[in-house]
Structure 1
């Protein structure tokens, strides 16, 4: 992980150095600031769209996997935009723009679908989730709950 971070820092420094050598120091700072402002505006706009899409999907009673993933990717893209540097700005813009965000979303959901069965098998099937309620299968059906259930509604 440290090697990846060092490579990232080296790439950022090289990118800033290359741009500054072509257009100068002050214009480079201006481009970085303009990118931060434009990116934060885009993140706010796309975040609002993702939130509205999630609300509409939830109201319709459909699963909102894509909408939740879009919101996560927009947040991550906004974070990358706020980190100073050209490499992070490009990654942030790729996560914020809908066409490229769709590619990241599909890859992320495929990865989760591949890993989800292995996560279940690692638990040896002892704990399952039914209707958003955790059920411990180690306990017998006739055993009382380990703690009283208090319903405050």
Structure 2
């Protein structure tokens, strides 16, 4: 996993720089810089507007007592898309923009769902909640962790040994 991340964070920027240099050679430096800046401004506008929409929907879902699964997914996409738009480059900008546009987020949701389901099925990801294990993996180990809430009620009149 570390090797894949290292490759991702070194190869993608190198490809982006190479592509920007080639684009600059073909259309000129100013139009290239302008294109990168325009995608950034469009991204900021989209991230802000979509972010407010998702926050509003999330609040409505929580107020109705429903779990906001889609809103959390959309919020994560907007966060990742906005972050990708901060990095200079056209490929990352295009991918970031596709995460900000609602109808393309639906496509990415299908893609990411398939990937996550495959990882769970292959046992590379295990989902835990309390002492139960969901979906996949062969983990039969029980956890010693118990999730609970408690409250201490202390009556000063009854117990004077602690003073």
Query: TM over 0.5: same fold?
Result: yes
Q: Which residue, 93, 98, 102 being the options, matches 1:94?
A: 98
Alignment correspondent of 1:126: 143
Distance 1:74 1:97 in 2: 9
> Can you list the C-alpha shifts for 1:97-134, whole angstroms capped at 9, x where unaligned?
111212223444452693422588647232577xxxx1
Normalised to the residue count of structure 2, the TM-score between the two structures is: 0.71
Larger deviation, residues 99-108 vs 77-86: 99-108
Q: Which residue, 17, 23, 32 being the options, matches 1:19?
A: 23
Distance 2:56 2:43 in 1: 20
Normalised to the residue count of structure 1, the TM-score between the two structures is: 0.75
Answer with 1 or 2: which has the greater Rg: 2
Aligned residue runs from structure 1 range 140-151, under 5 A: 149-150=151-152
**5+ unaligned residues in a row in structure 2: which ranges?**
128-133, 154-163
Structure 1 residue runs of 4+, over 6 Å off? none
| Higher helix proportion | 1
Counterpart check, 1:69 vs 2:73: yes
Alignment correspondent of 2:10: 6
Distance 1:82 1:120 in 2: 37
Compared CA separation, residues 67 and 120, structure 1 to 2 (3 A): farther
Alignment correspondent of 2:57: 53
CA offset at residue 10 of structure 1? 2.0
Does the 8 A contact of 1:66 with 1:105 survive in 2? Answer: no
Alignment correspondent of 1:138: none
Does the 8 A contact of 1:74 with 1:96 survive in 2? Answer: yes
> Can you list the C-alpha shifts for 1:64-108, whole angstroms capped at 9, x where unaligned?
111111101101100111111111101111111111212223444
Larger deviation, residues 108-117 vs 3-12: 108-117
Local SS of the residue matching 2:66: coil
**5+ unaligned residues in a row in structure 1: which ranges?**
136-147
Distance 1:59 1:49 in 2: 15
Counterpart check, 1:85 vs 2:89: yes
Distance 2:141 2:72 in 1: 28
Aligned-CA RMSD value = 2.8
